[in-house]
């Protein structure tokens, strides 16, 4: 195993995992010194039983949220982040709890930084490893199994006027506690289950093969890849399988720890570009680009591909193991079939005329720096054409 001459690794937060983990939320909040949290809740949860479950658990634990905030659009803009911070201050809260998908958790992380720093504008917290100081009690509860936001040092929010996404990166953004309870993900529809699952797989594959990989990020990535391979098809075929749901939530968490400590690569650069220009859901962009980019990267990642082939076919002797990229192609094909996901960019509604603009966006994306193979703008366009 190659050990980089220097690397940094931020340990993941305290994790409560398993059915019933959510019931320990009041205990965790009290342990953190929080009695009056601001509860940030994904508006999409209103059609599920999760809000009433959460209310019951908090009531039993004698925790009364000082405020509940649900006005959270997908990819919330900075103004929403500032509104969350204002609500926190106005209600005299002493901690922040967020329950929702990756977008809601990212909003919560950005708001936590604004609140903790006392910043009055977003400019005060923007940047990479730029935040210093103590943070407020902070708990994250994901309701999807993909972004792993509860375990990452990254938050993505959008700019109100410029229609671009902005990244904040700091290890101080991690929650003190993350809670993975299968009751939070069991009602996810197949398309979102598949797309977020592929997102987790992409995080771990890019973290494993990227230039910034280190022995610790590698261990987490391999564990995530194994779990996705073993459980994603199961949850698509049997959405009520709580054990498989929990395994996928754990995979997303592990993938989050991994990529948060070694970055992602060109799949994400292009995916961010497609999201910005064509407004495709992030997981769908990952599903469409993962294989073409890994094939392009192949000359630089042969050793990793051998390890991955062994991971996915542990019972076969080395000489009989299928090539990992072939196995991945079959796996993605099966997931597409179960969840009815598009197989090409054109099927997803992207037009050829949009591709140059996607390349320009991708060219500005920091993930390009960590891709195992250096890519030119022509390479990026070729990859998009290949997925078209």
Partner 1 sequence: MKTMVAAVVLKFLGAGILVLQRKDSRMQEELTAYAPGSALQIRAWDGGPVLCLAKSASGAWTAGSLSRPLGSEVVEVVFKSPRSAILALLGLQSVSAAFLENRVTVRGDLMVTLPLVRAVNLAEAHLFPRWWTKPIGTLPPRRLTLMGTWFGALAQLFSPQERSP
The binding site for partner 1 (CB under 8 A) comprises 4-8, 123, 126-130, 164-169, 211-212, 263, 363-366, 368-370, 374
Closer CB to partner 1, residue 113 or residue 180?
113
Q: Residue 42, SS3?
A: coil
Smallest gap from Cβ 212 to partner 1, in A, equals 5
Closer CB to partner 1, residue 213 or residue 223?
213
Closer CB to partner 1, residue 10 or residue 234?
10
Q: Which residue(s) pair with 178 in the sheet?
A: 15, 140
Smallest gap from Cβ 376 to partner 1, in A, equals 11
Closer CB to partner 1, residue 27 or residue 128?
128
Smallest gap from Cβ 123 to partner 1, in A, equals 6
Q: Which residue(s) pair with 17 in the sheet?
A: 180
Closer CB to partner 1, residue 135 or residue 141?
135
174 CB neighbour count, 10 Å cutoff: 25
Using the 8-state DSSP alphabet, how is residue 164 labeled? -
Among candidate residues 202, 66, 65, the one with its CA nearest the CA of residue 147: 202
Q: Which residues are within 8 A (CB) of 48 and not within 5 positions of it... i.e. 6 or more apart?
A: 187
Closer CB to partner 1, residue 166 or residue 357?
166
Smallest gap from Cβ 1 to partner 1, in A, equals 17
Q: Which residues are within 8 A (CB) of 224 and not within 5 positions of it... i.e. 6 or more apart?
A: 200, 201, 203, 204, 251, 252, 254, 255, 258
Smallest gap from Cβ 2 to partner 1, in A, equals 13
Smallest gap from Cβ 128 to partner 1, in A, equals 4
Among candidate residues 218, 225, 227, the one with its CA nearest the CA of residue 258: 218
* Per-residue tokens: 75: 């990819």
Smallest gap from Cβ 240 to partner 1, in A, equals 40
Contact 181, 19 (CB under 8 A): yes
Closer CB to partner 1, residue 343 or residue 368?
368
d(CA 340, CA 191): 7
**Helices 302-312, 190-209: crossing angle, 10 deg rounding:** 130
């Amino acid at each position: 195993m190659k050990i980089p001459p220097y690397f940094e690794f931020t340990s993941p937060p305290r994790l409560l995992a398993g059915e019933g983990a959510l019931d320990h939320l009041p205990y965790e909040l009290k342990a953190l010194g929080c009695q009056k949290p601001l509860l940030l809740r994904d508006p999409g949860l209103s059609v599920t039983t999760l809000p009433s479950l959460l209310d019951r658990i908090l009531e039993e634990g004698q925790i009364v949220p000082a405020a509940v905030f649900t006005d959270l659009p997908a990819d919330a803009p900075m103004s929403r982040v500032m509104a969350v911070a204002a609500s926190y201050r106005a209600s005299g809260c002493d901690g922040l709890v967020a329950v929702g998908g990756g977008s809601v958790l990212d909003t919560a992380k950005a708001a936590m930084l604004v609140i903790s720093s006392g910043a009055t504008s977003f400019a005060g917290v923007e940047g990479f490893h730029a935040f210093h100081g103590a943070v407020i009690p902070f708990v994250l509860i994901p309701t999807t199994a993909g972004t792993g936001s509860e375990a990452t040092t990254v938050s993505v929010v959008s700019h109100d006027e410029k229609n671009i996404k902005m990244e904040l990166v700091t290890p101080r953004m991690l929650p003190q506690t993350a809670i993975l309870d299968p009751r939070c993900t069991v009602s996810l529809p197949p398309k979102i289950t598949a797309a977020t699952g592929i997102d987790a797989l992409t995080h771990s594959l890019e973290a494993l093969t990227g230039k910034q990989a280190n022995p610790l990020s590698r261990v987490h990535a391999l564990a995530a890849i194994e779990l996705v391979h073993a459980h994603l098809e199961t949850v698509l075929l049997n959405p009520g399988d709580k054990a498989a749901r929990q395994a996928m939530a754990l995979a997303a968490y592990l993938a989050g720890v991994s990529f948060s400590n070694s970055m992602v690569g060109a799949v994400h650069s292009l995916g961010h570009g497609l999201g910005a220009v064509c407004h495709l859901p992030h997981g769908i962009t990952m599903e469409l680009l993962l294989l073409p980019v890994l094939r392009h990267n192949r000359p630089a990642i042969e050793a990793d591909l051998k390890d991955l082939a062994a991971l996915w076919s542990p019972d076969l002797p080395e000489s009989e193991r299928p090539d990992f990229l072939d196995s991945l192609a079959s796996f993605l094909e099966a997931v597409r079939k179960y969840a009815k996901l598009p197989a090409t960019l054109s099927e997803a509604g992207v037009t050829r005329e949009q591709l140059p603009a996607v390349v320009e966006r991708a060219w500005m994306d920091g993930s390009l720096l960590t891709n195992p193979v250096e890519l030119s703008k022509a390479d990026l366009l070729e990859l998009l054409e290949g997925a078209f």
